[in-house]
Structure 1
């Protein structure tokens, strides 16, 4: 079977499968996952203006397969073309988008692979396959499958106790916005979850759901070395509110960027937050579509991963009751 295996499935079936599959395992395979409430990932063509919501025309996602799994896996891409009902046209459909799949040593361990900019050796690892999509109607609103993949051809990452593959999406030509999704599956033709699988990224480029008061959740994972975090966001247009929730934070306000600019804010991390995920909640204040970029770094400027399904589960604030006993 070829590494890139095309299958034709509609958007409606994707939603149906999400509804039928058990939780939370099924949701762990979708990137973005329904719990994040993100409309689509987005990558613009190389000629696109950054003010449209993509600062570097590149998106890197990692897919985690538990080490116990020895069965073939597939990374399925929904709507990989740029020229249909979900994508964003600017001046006519003129964009090509390259999807490149990597495995083996260096895929994740290479320092540039975990960076927030496509610089240096960010394409580290062994190139397993690559495919460039234009405006072909064949792939509009359909699934395209990468695989089969032997889990052992990924890179073993001890911190995650599993094998990791990397997909880099890059706008090569044009100025349109390519909107797409992923699903890590055990089947080439259906969205069947890989038990214990997950997906994550170090810089999130995505489209908010175009509904007023909709809440989007981003889940950066905080390891036990983190003392403080700096959340950085680009091109939020001032049209959202942003708050940080965790077991120790009950809605700390974070700074929101304007049009075509980066902004950031720093937040202290307590020991009780170590080994858990934060919940960055973005509340839309308008119905307008908005494409934007997020990343989070620690006190050493090291990027933290956003997992599609938060490690440790969605955080819940733990109220502390101060009880005084009168004598």
Structure 2
């Protein structure tokens, strides 16, 4: 029998007993993150447009007891419509490849935010390539039905995991898209107790006129002593503050145009088994695409969960009480 740290189990139980309305956050990105879309650029794009490797990987977590089929739905998987970032006539193709079985999560570099091996681990279940097909503009494409037993068991998350890899194969446009983890092939019906997570997040930050603060939720396990947050191509156009039960708006570094920047923060014991809240607020008049990842003191990447484990953190004030005799 696998043993799980108490702090992690508490956070996971909090997730699994969420009411149905809260569990509907299986949109990826979810509403609480306030990230409008994910983005993956074509392979001939300039990296300074906001994508460091033209690839993005998401894992979809299924509760261990789930036996009914599940579906991974992709909104607007093609590149060329009104929702995408075109640099001229649409010329970009993007593949979405779904993996399951051994190695999907546990394989070499499967969770590396900057992998050197271009071949994803696991067993390829289905791959679909999209170009500028009008029928996919603003509509959903569905992968499935998927048998939960085809996903790789992951003891630390008490469930099974599928993996979706989006990759820009050609062209120089930005493909903007979203996912939904569903029990229906034709509608967005949340998988109760499910979740999704990534180890490198490439997304679009809204312009400052939207007055939107984006929330990213990296999970801190009980082995973490410090974290290093790294971000790419923020264009010096945002502020980043980190909140948690122990942090009340710690400022962190943001990058310039086409460059990586990082900063290190200590982790307190009471932050173990909970999520941090990275609050990113634009100071730019235009939307901006950028990349984030977080590692611990061993340079091991930490996951960003769509539904934050333990819920969105709230700072806990320490109130000292003095007794006077």
After TM superposition, the score normalised by the length of structure 2 is 0.93
Q: Shift in Å at residue 121 of structure 1?
A: 6.7
CA distances 1:3-31 after superposition (whole Å, capped 9, x unpaired): xxxxxxxxxxxxxxxxxx9521101x110
- Secondary structure (helix, strand or coil) at the match of 1:152 reads helix
Tell me, in whole angstroms, the C-alpha distance in 1 between the residues paired with 2:203 and 2:27. Answer: 14
- Secondary structure (helix, strand or coil) at the match of 2:135 reads helix
Partner residue, 1:33: 30
Partner residue, 1:260: 258
Tell me, in whole angstroms, the C-alpha distance in 2 between the residues paired with 1:51 and 1:171. Answer: 15
Tell me, in whole angstroms, the C-alpha distance in 1 between the residues paired with 2:75 and 2:243. Answer: 31
Task: Report if the CA contact (8 A) 1:78-1:144 is conserved.
Answer: yes
- Secondary structure (helix, strand or coil) at the match of 2:323 reads coil
Q: Shift in Å at residue 208 of structure 1?
A: 1.1
Aligned equivalent of 1:132, options 129, 152, 165: 129
CA distances 1:236-291 after superposition (whole Å, capped 9, x unpaired): 01111001100000000000101100000000001000000000000111331100
- Secondary structure (helix, strand or coil) at the match of 1:123 reads coil
**Equivalences for 1:268-283 in 2 at 5 Å?**
268-283=266-281
Q: Shift in Å at residue 207 of structure 1?
A: 0.3
Give yes or no for the alignment of 1:247 onto 2:245.
yes
Tell me, in whole angstroms, the C-alpha distance in 2 between the residues paired with 1:274 and 1:111. Answer: 26
Unaligned runs of 5+ in 1: 1-20
Moved over 6 A (4+): none
CA distances 1:129-149 after superposition (whole Å, capped 9, x unpaired): 100000000101000000000
Q: Shift in Å at residue 120 of structure 1?
A: 2.1
CA distances 1:92-136 after superposition (whole Å, capped 9, x unpaired): 100000100000000001130100124227511000010000000
- Secondary structure (helix, strand or coil) at the match of 1:259 reads coil
Task: Report if the CA contact (8 A) 1:98-1:170 is conserved.
Answer: yes
Partner residue, 2:297: 299
Tell me, in whole angstroms, the C-alpha distance in 2 between the residues paired with 1:158 and 1:209. Answer: 36
**Equivalences for 1:175-194 in 2 at 5 Å?**
175-194=172-191
Equivalent pairs counted in the alignment come to: 306
- Secondary structure (helix, strand or coil) at the match of 1:25 reads helix
- Secondary structure (helix, strand or coil) at the match of 2:36 reads strand
CA distances 1:289-323 after superposition (whole Å, capped 9, x unpaired): 10000000000000000000100000000001011
- Secondary structure (helix, strand or coil) at the match of 2:270 reads helix
After TM superposition, the score normalised by the length of structure 1 is 0.92
CA distances 1:54-97 after superposition (whole Å, capped 9, x unpaired): 00000000000001110000000000000001100012100000
Partner residue, 1:197: 194
Partner residue, 1:323: 321
Partner residue, 1:214: 212
Aligned-residue RMSD, C-alpha: 1.1
